[in-house]
Amino acid sequence: MAPTLVTMQHPNGAASEAYRALRTRVLVMAERQGLKTIMVASPTGEDGKTAIAANLAVSLAQVGKRVVLLSADLRGSKVHQYFGLDNERGLSNVLAGEMPPWEAVQQSGRPRAPLGVRQRPGPGPAGRAAPERPHA
């Protein structure tokens, strides 16, 4: 079952209102400080980062902001599930030099929703960051 984008599926609900309030706070802070990038992070897994990022991205797109939602979870990205996207290419391909960044971006296919960057599972962050082994 696909995760729920409450901001699209239940736009008049309390959760959607909470995301609109978060959006307003983010936009005010971004305007005051000249910010153009937002990162949603936490020290542990399974605490709602993807749901927050996806719903905030939709909320921002709904007021006409240009949004690219990038998942840097190289082990278990779930962003594609929220938007019904494939998960064949993504950040790991860009980091490996297999494609330029703009080729990893795809339309969400939903009106007034953000663009998404696909993320195929890779060997994990250490595998991508590790230099090639010298040949003897």
pLDDT digits (tens, 9 = 90+) for 16-46: 999 999 999 999 999 999 999 999 998 888 8
Q: Is 68 helix (H, G, I), strand (E, B) or coil?
A: strand
The answer to whether position 80 is within a domain reads yes
How far, rounded to the nearest angstrom, does the alpha carbon of residue 79 sit from its chain's CA centroid?
6
The answer to whether position 40 is within a domain reads yes
> Residue 13 belongs to what domain range?
6-122
Residue 62 has pLDDT above 50, yes or no: yes
The answer to whether position 134 is within a domain reads no
Cα end-to-end distance, the chain, whole Å: 49
Return the pLDDT at 90.
85
Number of domains in the chain: 1
The answer to whether position 130 is within a domain reads no
Specify the CATH number for the domain of residue 21.
3.40.50.300
The answer to whether position 46 is within a domain reads yes
The answer to whether position 128 is within a domain reads no
Distance (Å) of CA 101 to CA 72, 77, 97, 98, 110: 13, 17, 9, 10, 21
pTM value > 0.85: no
Q: What are phi and psi of 8, to 5 degrees?
A: -105, -40
Distance CA 23, CA 64 (A): 12
69 DSSP β-pair partners: 116
The answer to whether position 105 is within a domain reads yes
The answer to whether position 136 is within a domain reads no
Secondary element (H or E) of residue 125: helix 125-129
